[in-house]
Amino acid sequence: MSAVLVGVCGALVAAGLVAVIAGLRRTHIAPPAQRLSLEQRWARATRRPPGAAGRRRDRLLGAGLLLGLVVFAITGWVLAVPLVPLVVLVVPYLLGTPAQRDIIMMEALDRWVRTLATLIPTGKSVVDAVRAGRRQVPEAIAPEVERLIGRLDDRWAPEAALRAMADDLDSPDADSVVAALMLATRRGGTGATATLKALSDSIQDRLRARREIEAERAKPRVVVRQVTMITLIVLGASLLFGRDFLAPYATQIGQLIFAGLVAAYLGSMVMLRRLTNPPRRDRILVRRGSDREAVSAP
């Protein structure tokens, strides 16, 4: 009974520390007419992501806290109460597949460029083709293309509007596409068609290479996932059937050693995620000052 009481006290202390940190943070005070619900206050205090991602994180946190209390009740490890929820929250993120923003961006740019290349031979300029193909723009770049069309409608110079679109996309791959479109607007006609077709072929080659690179980067993550699952299964079996083997970790020094081992393992996974993430590349189109060059009315 005393062990369970100590575990509950440890959980309350951890919750109290979270509440103190949240209270010391500078937060926006809502007007009296906009009273926040308990869920909204919790989301603001813990910076919970909106939507399903936030609800999933809360469920993981609750399950981790409950599992930590169960581990404490079985082993008497006080550090299990804060460490287990931390592991439950952090490990899925560290072992998850990062968002492939570059590949998604290149796929969307390839489809968009191919659409423009089919419209220009009908007698349209690059600007007219952009307007005519607005309904066929891939979702990943649709907001940026809409802003591009809005700038063109506001009589921006085509090159200035395209350069602003490159800033909105903020991608080296988009910079190469925008640079080719800027060149195509100068050439016009058959030259623009040839430029866009060559650009589309180049994007296809880079997409193929990028997919192969990402497939190689995914292999270490798969191995680490398997090792982590085996480790957790063995540790869980030891907690249930081999308590004598883990008895030294119930002491104060043993718990410090256990916390150090967990921190080292999480740190190694952080390094793995950094190594398997694609490096940030420099852009080739960088705005200098204000490039908003409005086209004078005819």
**Residue 80 is assigned to a structural domain of this protein:** no
Could you give the 3-state DSSP secondary structure of residue 155? coil
Bridge partners for 283 per DSSP: none
* Residue 297 pLDDT greater than 70, yes or no: no
Look at the chain and report how many structural domains it folds into: 1
**Residue 164 is assigned to a structural domain of this protein:** yes
pLDDT in tens, 221-256: 888 888 888 888 888 888 778 777 777 877 888 888
Ranking 41-55, 190-204, 237-251, 261-275 by mean pLDDT, the lowest is: 41-55
The amino acid occupying position 53 is: A
Q: Are 187 and 195 in contact (CB under 8 A)?
A: yes
**Residue 117 is assigned to a structural domain of this protein:** yes
**How many helices (H) and strands (E) in the chain?**
12, 0
**Class of residue 68 by CB neighbours under 10 A (exposed 0-12, middle 13-18, buried 19+):** buried
**Residue 271 is assigned to a structural domain of this protein:** no
**Residue 155 is assigned to a structural domain of this protein:** yes
**Residue 280 is assigned to a structural domain of this protein:** no
**Residue 132 is assigned to a structural domain of this protein:** yes
The amino acid occupying position 145 is: V
**Residue 173 is assigned to a structural domain of this protein:** yes
> 2: Cβ–Cβ under 8 A, 6 or more apart, which residues?
none
Q: What is the pLDDT of residue 131?
A: 87
pLDDT in tens, 126-176: 888 888 888 888 888 889 999 999 998 888 888 888 888 888 888 888 888
Q: Give the integer Cα–Cα distance in Å for 64 and 62.
A: 5
φ/ψ region of 188 (left if φ > 0, alpha if ψ in -120 to 50, else beta) reads: left
The amino acid occupying position 254 is: G
- Range(s) of the domain holding residue 174: 100-213
